[in-house]
């Protein structure tokens, strides 16, 4: 990390960046109100910090050993940035004072289904619309989303999705699963989701980050906090700081029957907030895998400090093509939103 003096000139900054690149690393430049911080991206052990420390305009040059630093509070603070990042999507603020509810079907099944659910979640008080077009599935023999049928079908589904979002004034978020979907999806949606199974897919992370779109980034079910944040760093290293972290459950433990699909790690929410300035939301639907727990887990997520929830909603859950047993109705969503907002007040927010 190179901290420039408060009066450092553009030329001095440019010289430092060029030097960094000479050593095979990249530079992340944060222009604060008072000074400029240059984060190093790459193997810092190659850098002679003593040499950098005496370049004109440099105040301090030192190694940062943690695998995630661009997303740390320390880095934000040095750069004079806010302690928590608020990501604006239309009128919605993720990470701000108000809770954000993202809701919609697991998979987009038809235009009619999508519009019906979009209308339902809007009325229930949701702020954004979710819906899967490219579905990651454990089995090649399962429904893979409308996007699997070909580019035309994917485009059509994305057009419905965009239209539904516009009609009901709900910014839209959908998952991409492979590099070849990035350009297409980025044209239609407000937020791109990277799902749990792709958390470690660093080439995909880089490509999605370069679209400049906000990213809803889910923790893999086998990932520790350190790995989750280290991979999030890949995206911020592409100069995209609009990363929303999402806890959605880790592998269940113990012999015998599993009563939930995954173990929701709610302590991860405050831990992530202490380690990084990125906003944190929770997906109770995939963690539970059963609708009778969604209310309780949603309340707990907000109580533990999440700034939002992403919940699967279907107007007729038992007919849903994917994950039917975990989707709730718009009416149930409404009850959840009401209880969560009360809890949000009780813990002293807003």
User: Residue 194: helix, strand or coil by DSSP?
Assistant: strand
Interface residue with its own copies among 175, 265, 312, 323 (CB under 8 A) is 265
Interface residue with its own copies among 8, 154, 288, 320 (CB under 8 A) is 288
Angle at 312 between CA 87 and CA 304, to 5 degrees: 55
Q: Report the alpha-carbon distance of residue 96 to residue 308 in Å, rounded.
A: 10
Q: Report the alpha-carbon distance of residue 155 to residue 133 in Å, rounded.
A: 10
- Main-chain dihedrals φ then ψ at residue 247, nearest 5 degrees: -90, 130
Binding status of residue 191 toward its own copies by CB under 8 A: no
The nearest distance, CB 89 to its own copies, in angstroms, is 25
Binding status of residue 302 toward its own copies by CB under 8 A: yes
Interface residue with its own copies among 230, 239, 324, 329 (CB under 8 A) is 230
**Closer CB to its own copies, residue 70 or residue 129?**
70
Q: Report the alpha-carbon distance of residue 325 to residue 309 in Å, rounded.
A: 18
Interface residue with its own copies among 9, 31, 180, 316 (CB under 8 A) is 180
Contact criterion met (CB below 8 Å) for 336 and 123: no
Instruction: State whether the Cα torsion 240-138-312-155 is positive or negative.
Output: positive
> Which residues lie closer than 8 Å to 348 by C-beta, 6 or more apart?
none
Binding status of residue 193 toward its own copies by CB under 8 A: no
What tokens were used for 46? Answer: 């190659």
How many chain residues interact with its own copies (CB under 8 A)? 86
Interface residue with its own copies among 6, 9, 267, 316 (CB under 8 A) is 267
Binding status of residue 271 toward its own copies by CB under 8 A: yes
Question: By CB under 8 A, what part of segment 57-96 binds its own copies?
Answer: 67-69
Edge-to-edge strands of the sheet including 36-41? 26-31, 36-41, 2-4, 58-61
The DSSP code sequence of 45-111 is: GG--HHHHHTSTTEEEE----SS--TTSHHHHHHTT--SS--EEETTEEETSSS-EEEEE-SB---H
The nearest distance, CB 90 to its own copies, in angstroms, is 29
Binding status of residue 237 toward its own copies by CB under 8 A: yes
Binding status of residue 136 toward its own copies by CB under 8 A: yes
Interface residue with its own copies among 21, 167, 331, 346 (CB under 8 A) is 346
**Closer CB to its own copies, residue 170 or residue 196?**
196
Question: By CB under 8 A, what part of segment 100-129 binds its own copies?
Answer: none
The nearest distance, CB 6 to its own copies, in angstroms, is 27
From the list 54-62, 103-111, 156-164, 250-258, the region that binds its own copies by CB under 8 A is 250-258
Interface residue with its own copies among 21, 222, 319, 325 (CB under 8 A) is 222
Contact criterion met (CB below 8 Å) for 3 and 27: no
From the list 10-18, 30-38, 232-240, 326-334, the region that binds its own copies by CB under 8 A is 232-240
Binding status of residue 200 toward its own copies by CB under 8 A: yes
Binding status of residue 280 toward its own copies by CB under 8 A: no
Binding status of residue 21 toward its own copies by CB under 8 A: no
Binding status of residue 325 toward its own copies by CB under 8 A: no
283: β partners:
none
Contact criterion met (CB below 8 Å) for 56 and 12: yes
What tokens were used for 37? Answer: 């911080």
Binding status of residue 20 toward its own copies by CB under 8 A: no
From the list 5-13, 50-58, 196-204, 312-320, the region that binds its own copies by CB under 8 A is 196-204
């Amino acid at each position: 990390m190179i901290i420039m003096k408060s009066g450092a000139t553009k030329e001095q900054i440019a010289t430092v960046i060029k030097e960094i690149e000479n050593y095979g690393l990249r530079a992340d430049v944060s222009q604060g109100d008072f000074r400029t911080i240059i984060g190093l991206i790459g193997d810092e052990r190659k850098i002679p910090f003593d040499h950098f420390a005496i370049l004109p305009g440099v105040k301090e040059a030192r190694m940062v050993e943690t695998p995630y630093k661009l997303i740390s509070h320390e880095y934000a603070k040095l750069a004079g940035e806010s302690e928590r990042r608020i990501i604006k999507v239309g009128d919605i603020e993720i990470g701000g004072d108000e809770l954000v509810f993202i809701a919609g079907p697991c998979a987009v099944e038809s235009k009619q289904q999508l519009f019906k659910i979009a209308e339902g979640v809007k009325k229930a008080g949701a702020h954004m619309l979710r819906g899967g077009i490219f579905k990651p599935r454990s089995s090649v023999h399962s429904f893979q989303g409308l996007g699997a049928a070909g580019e035309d079908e994917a485009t059509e589904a994305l057009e419905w999705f965009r239209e539904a979002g516009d009609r009901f004034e709900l910014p839209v978020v959908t998952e991409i699963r492979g590099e070849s979907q990035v350009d297409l999806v980025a044209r239609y949606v407000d937020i791109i989701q990277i799902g749990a199974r792709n958390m470690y897919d660093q080439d995909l992370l880089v490509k999605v980050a370069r679209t400049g779109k906000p990213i809803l980034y889910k923790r893999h079910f086998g990932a520790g906090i350190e790995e989750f944040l280290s991979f999030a760093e890949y995206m911020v290293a592409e100069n995209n700081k609009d990363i929303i972290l999402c806890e959605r459950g880790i592998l269940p433990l113990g012999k015998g029957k599993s009563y939930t699909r995954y173990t929701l790690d709610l302590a991860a929410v405050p831990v992530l907030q202490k380690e990084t300035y990125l906003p944190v939301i929770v997906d109770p639907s995939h963690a539970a895998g059963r609708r009778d727990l969604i209310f309780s887990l949603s309340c707990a997520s907000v109580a533990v400090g999440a700034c939002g929830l992403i919940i699967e909603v279907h107007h007729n859950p038992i007919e849903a093509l994917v994950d039917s047993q975990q989707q709730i109705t718009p009416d149930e969503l409404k009850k959840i939103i009401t209880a969560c907002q009360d809890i949000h007040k009780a813990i002293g927010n807003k």
